[in-house]
Amino acid sequence: MTSFYIDSAERQVVEPLLGSGLVAGVTTNPTLLEAAGVRNEAIPDLVSWATDAGARAVFVQAWGGSADQLERRGRDLRALDDRVVVKLPVTPAGLHATARLAADGIPVLVTAVYSATQVLPTMAAGASMIAPYLGRMTDAGRDGFAEIAAMQRVIDASGSTLRVLVASLRTPADVLRLAEVGVRDFTLGPAVWEQLAADPLTDAAVAEFERAAQAGS
C-alpha cells in the first residue's frame, strides 16, 4: 500500500490535507519546526493538533550529540503519543540510539540519508523506515534515483520490513518514477501534493461534466 505524508508544520496548510483522508500523516524536522515558529517546548501541542486533525503518524526528530541524548529524547517524543515515529540521523550515534529504541518496539525513521550503502546499517539497527533525500542528492551531483532504487532492491532481496520514505521530492514525476521501482512511501511539500492529481485535461473534462449536469437540471 502506498502512503503519502505532508512535509510541513504549517497548520493552516496541513490541516485540510489531513482531513481529506488521503494523507497518512505529517513529517517534521527541526528546520521545518523553526520555519513554522514551533519551539521545542511546543512539540507536544503540535503532536496533539496533528493527531486530532487525522494524522495516523507524526514524525518528530530527536536531537542531541550522543546516542544517550538521542535515545532519551526519542523516548520522550514517543511517550507523547503512540502515533509518534521518532526520527534519528544516519550517524553512528543516531544508529546506536535507533537500535536501542527499536529493541523496545519504538518505530524509528532514519533520516538525512544520501547514499544507498546507508541502508545496510539502517537495517541492522532495526529501523522501521529510511528517508533518502532525492532532490538534495541531485543538487549534490548524485544520481538520486539510482541510489534510492538500489536501496529498494537491497531491502526486497533481504526480505527486510524496512520501508523507504522518500523526502525532498520536487515534482509528481519524481513520485511516479520511484513508485515504478517499488517505493511505496513519500513525503511531499504541500505544493507538490497539490500537483499530484492536477492535469488541465482533467479540469476541462470536469468543467464539461458540470456544464452538462447544470443544463440537465
Active-site positions read: 87
Burial class (CB in 10 A: 0-12, 13-18, 19+), 134: buried
CA distance 184 to 186: 7
CA distance 159 to 130: 15
CA distance 2 to 4: 7
C-alpha cell at 97: 540510539
DSSP string, 131-194: EEBHHHHHHTT--HHHHHHHHHHHHHHHT---EEEEB---SHHHHHHHHTTT--EEEE-HHHHH
Burial class (CB in 10 A: 0-12, 13-18, 19+), 142: middle
Q: Which of 199, 184, 214, 201 is nearest to 3 (CA)?
A: 184
CA distance 71 to 93: 9
